[in-house]
Amino acid sequence: MRIVVTGSAGLIGAALVRSLRADGHDIVRLVRRAPTAPDEAEWDPRRGHVAPAALTGCQAVVHLAGAGVGDHRWSAEYKREIRDSRVLGTTAIATAVAAMDTPPSVLVCGSAVGYYGDTGQRAVDESAPAGHGFLPSVCVEWEAAAAPAEAAGVRTVFARTGLVVAAEGGAWGKLFPIFRAGIGGRLGTGRQYWSYIALHDEIAALRHLIVTRELSGPVNLTAPEPLTNREVTAAMGRVLRRPTLFAVPAPAMRLALGEFAEDVLGSQRVRPAKLLASGFAFRYPGIDEAIRAALAGERR
């Protein structure tokens, strides 16, 4: 299968490309610079440009590009970058797909459980409405930007991903050094829910979305049972065999992270109802095994 991927330099995109290539798929990576490798093609999300030949003959497009939410403090300028990188990029991809004489059978667009906002102790699935605040508003616009592909009859799936458990990158990658040093601990009260997914299961789920024809619209990519931050903290200490005595008070997080702290301290109890109903089987559904899998992946 010929598959076009954006965001291939990121944690999830790079792992997806490795997995697909290992099974013999032909991968085209869209990059925002002049191509330097045979498998690369140029695109410019801000100008809405995708190299004309980049999508030719592809059966699937997986669009994962977007500025990291936790990479910088949320200034007004960086919030625009978070929004524009997602909305403009998705508009460019969806418009290019819709204009093709023979479009791909599926467009899998990255999204996030941030769509639901703070759900407190309430469990939600894909039927829940959007929450309130900056990240939910970004997710709403992000998904809406794929409308041209949907209108053209392309099966469009929104992969609403939770916190990816990986040692080599992403938000979780920043936790491992802290916990290894023995200075990890709960954040705020620790009662907020974290909806996580092992990197292996994230990649397997994305591949499942590509080939499972009955899946369209939003699909939550999270482990079956979200856990509280306190429970995750205990698991990190258990697996790494380190103490977890150092709690980070909410005021300190707000001082250090600014507006982004409200999302870290917020609770998202998200369940993958559609993924489970479609027959997807998690390899690492529990937090201890997800952490161990991340450590094993780091050593490879």
> Using one digit for the tens of pLDDT, what is the confidence trace for 266-282?
899 999 999 999 999 99
Q: Is 182 exposed, middle or buried (0-12, 13-18, 19+ CB in 10 A)?
A: middle
In the prediction, which pLDDT does 299 show?
53
In the prediction, which pLDDT does 74 show?
83
204-258 residue pLDDT tens:
999 999 999 999 999 999 999 999 999 999 999 999 999 998 888 777 667 656 7
Q: Which residues of the chain have pLDDT under 70?
A: 252-253, 255-257, 260-261, 298-300
Q: Strand 123-124 to strand 193-194: parallel, antiparallel, or no bridges (unpaired)?
A: unpaired
Q: Is 234 exposed, middle or buried (0-12, 13-18, 19+ CB in 10 A)?
A: middle
Query: Would you say how long the chain is, in residues?
Result: 300
- Give domain 2-299's CATH superfamily: NAD(P)-binding Rossmann-like Domain (3.40.50.720)
Q: Which residues pair with 43 in a beta bridge?
A: 50
Domain locations in the chain as residue ranges: 2-299
CB atoms within 10 A of CB 262: 17
In the prediction, which pLDDT does 96 show?
97
In the prediction, which pLDDT does 253 show?
65
In the prediction, which pLDDT does 255 show?
63
What's the whole-model pTM score?
A: 0.95
